[in-house]
Amino acid sequence: MGETETADGTGGTGAIGSAGDAGRAEGPVPVPAPSHRDASLRRLAVRGGRALAGLAIGALTALAGLLAAVPAGLALLTVLALPGARRAVLRPLTAVGARVARAELRRLETFCGIVPPAGYSPADALRYTLYRIPLGLLGGMVLALMATGLFWFLVGLLGWFVILVDYPLEAIGTGLLGAFLLVLTAQGVYGTVLLEAGLVRRVLGPGPHAALRRRIDELATSRSEVVDAVDEERRRIERDLHDGVQQQLVALGILLGRARRSTDPERAGRLLRQAQEENRRALAELREVAWRVHPAVLDEAGLSVALESVAERSPLPVDLGYDDGGRPPARRAATVLYFVVSEAVTNVVKHADATRIRVRVHRAGSGNGNDGGGGGTFGLLVEDDGRGGADPAGGGLTGLARRVAALDGRFAVHSPPGGPTTITAELPCA
């Protein structure tokens, strides 16, 4: 019997968190705690400071790029009519452009949180290096205006409170002008970061046709993997029925036949008791196979109750946490989450030599649907304290990865030798 932190049966919100309960509470909207506001302000200040640093570095690199681009452009212009010489000049320029583009993408990822694209050609990298020069200089101008606004704001502030003011209206006007420039340039910093992200996406990201081809390839691969996963599941059910239930039913028939032919009432009674026990084991095996196919409780009571059943049937203690934020997952996502948890727990019991299992299912992000749709994702974590060394390329884990990939989800296994083993999955809610 597993030790479970079970759901309370109201809205599918279980042991972890109670966001859904807070959302259903009546009365005025609760005001965030001061510590939460402080944390949000700190995060905003850190993000703003990092963006300022990123734009400052980008302005310097853009200035350096401008100084380097002028002679390079002149050299290219002189050999423009000569194909061989043009290629000889373009080759080193393209190599330098690729290095500069990589450095710029690292800067944007580090300071501005812009995720770089997966792949791009050297020619695109050179174009991006050239195109971003005016954008980098624009960022430098925004920072210069911000510094100017800060200067005039401080002049007005100090003039009013520190220095003896002969012209108070001028001091107030100077401070207000500085504050206006600060607000305006703060918006400019945000807009420049968006322009940087747009330039990366436009020049280095895949075009509409390339993105469509990539999506078609992903769907074709996903469909093939789903077919393989379903076929593997069918073969496993057939093995379970053939090697388990069928053999037990054969043994049951033999016991009943021997009991019927026996002339000794005591021996016949003993054989009937054995047959009854065999019948009980066959029914248990049949219920186990039915659970692996698709548990009825998943449709009748939802994912939280189905996971509780998995925890209760496990011979190892299972620490289960479930929080769907009051919005249960759609049927397909719930089915995949259930099978990942069920198979992962089964694998731990059979192979991991563990003493406990921890399962966490939670909803992240926003969503506005009540039918299991909406935005956001469902995160899943299954962790054990076993010996580790699980092979992600093994048949069982590969099948789980295929199920998750079929819904555009992500699946990962971390299992170093000696443990622990951690399985994570993320599924889109919609």
pLDDT tens-digit profile of 177-191?
A: 889 999 999 999 999
Q: Which two tokens stand for residue 206?
A: 């895949």
Q: Do residues 178 and 153 touch, judged by C-beta distance below 8 A?
A: yes
Same domain, 185 and 135: yes
Same domain, 361 and 335: yes
Q: Do residues 133 and 65 touch, judged by C-beta distance below 8 A?
A: yes
Q: Do residues 347 and 389 touch, judged by C-beta distance below 8 A?
A: no
Please give the pLDDT value at position 289.
78
Sheet holding 357-364, edge to edge: 318-323, 357-364, 377-384, 421-428, 410-414
pLDDT tens sequence across 308-321 = 988 988 889 999 99
**Inside any domain, residue 120:** yes
Exposed/middle/buried for residue 81 (C-beta within 10 Å: 0-12, 13-18, 19+): exposed
Domain limit, last residue, from 242, 261, 293: 293
Domain limit, last residue, from 269, 293, 317: 293
Contacts of 290 (CB under 8 A, 6+ apart): none
Position 418 pLDDT exceeds 80: yes
CA dihedral for 70, 71, 72, 74, sign (positive or negative) = positive
Please give the pLDDT value at position 163.
64
Pairwise CA distance, residues 430 & 422, whole Å: 25
Q: Can you spell out the DSSP letters for 200-254?
A: HHHHTS--HHHHHHHHHHHHHHHHHHHHHHHHHHHHHHHHHIIIIIHHHHHHHHH
Q: Which two tokens stand for residue 374?
A: 């909406």
Same domain, 194 and 224: no
Q: What's the mean per-residue pLDDT of the chain?
A: 81
Q: Do residues 76 and 86 touch, judged by C-beta distance below 8 A?
A: yes
Residue type, 78: T
Same domain, 288 and 415: no
Please give the pLDDT value at position 154.
87
Same domain, 259 and 388: no
Pairwise CA distance, residues 306 & 409, whole Å: 21
pLDDT band for 8, please (50, 70, 90 cuts): very low
H or E stretch covering 179: helix 168-203
pLDDT band for 365, please (50, 70, 90 cuts): low
Position 396 pLDDT exceeds 80: no
Domain limit, last residue, from 172, 204, 236: 204
Domain of residue 224, CATH code: 1.20.5
Pairwise CA distance, residues 328 & 302, whole Å: 8
Same domain, 188 and 221: no
Same domain, 57 and 187: yes
Position 11 pLDDT exceeds 70: no
State which residues form the domain around 279. 214-293
By mean pLDDT, which of 6-20, 25-39, 209-223 is the weakest?
Answer: 6-20
pLDDT tens sequence across 71-116 = 888 888 887 777 778 788 888 888 888 899 999 999 999 998 888 8
**Inside any domain, residue 11:** no
Pairwise CA distance, residues 359 & 423, whole Å: 10
Same domain, 84 and 158: yes
Q: Do residues 295 and 338 touch, judged by C-beta distance below 8 A?
A: yes
Q: Do residues 252 and 280 touch, judged by C-beta distance below 8 A?
A: no
Q: 296-320 burial, b for 16+ CB within 10 Å, e for fewer? A: eebeebbbbbbbbbbbebbebebbb
Same domain, 120 and 253: no
Task: Show the beta-strand stretches assigned E in 215-268.
Answer: none
**Inside any domain, residue 93:** yes
For the chain, how big is the Rg over CA atoms in Å? 32
**Inside any domain, residue 21:** no
**Plot region of 19 (φ>0 → left; ψ -120 to 50 → alpha; else → beta):** alpha
pLDDT band for 366, please (50, 70, 90 cuts): low
Please give the pLDDT value at position 81.
75
Please calculate the CA angle 287-328-375 and round it to the nearest 5 degrees.
135
By mean pLDDT, which of 165-179, 189-203, 375-389 is the weakest?
Answer: 165-179
3-state secondary structure of 421: strand
More confidently predicted of 118 and 142: 142
Contacts of 375 (CB under 8 A, 6+ apart): 365, 366, 367, 368, 429, 430
Same domain, 78 and 169: yes
Position 224 pLDDT exceeds 90: no
pLDDT band for 357, please (50, 70, 90 cuts): very high
pLDDT band for 375, please (50, 70, 90 cuts): low
Rounded to an integer, the average pLDDT of 210-231 is 78
**Inside any domain, residue 31:** no
**Inside any domain, residue 6:** no
Please tell me the total count of domains within the chain.
Answer: 3
**Inside any domain, residue 192:** yes
H or E stretch covering 320: strand 318-323
Please give the pLDDT value at position 133.
92
Pairwise CA distance, residues 214 & 218, whole Å: 6
Q: Which two tokens stand for residue 347?
A: 């694998």
pLDDT band for 62, please (50, 70, 90 cuts): very high
Contacts of 225 (CB under 8 A, 6+ apart): 402, 405, 406
Task: Kindly report the three-state secondary structure assignment for every residue of 132-146.
Answer: HHHHHHHHHHHHHHH
Same domain, 330 and 405: yes
Domain of residue 318, CATH code: 3.30.565.10
Same domain, 54 and 192: yes
By mean pLDDT, which of 72-76, 289-293, 360-364, 377-381 is the weakest?
Answer: 289-293
Q: Do residues 323 and 23 touch, judged by C-beta distance below 8 A?
A: no
**Inside any domain, residue 79:** yes
Counting residues of the chain whose pLDDT is more than 70, the rounded percentage is 86
Residue closest to 384 by CA, chosen among 2, 64, 63: 2
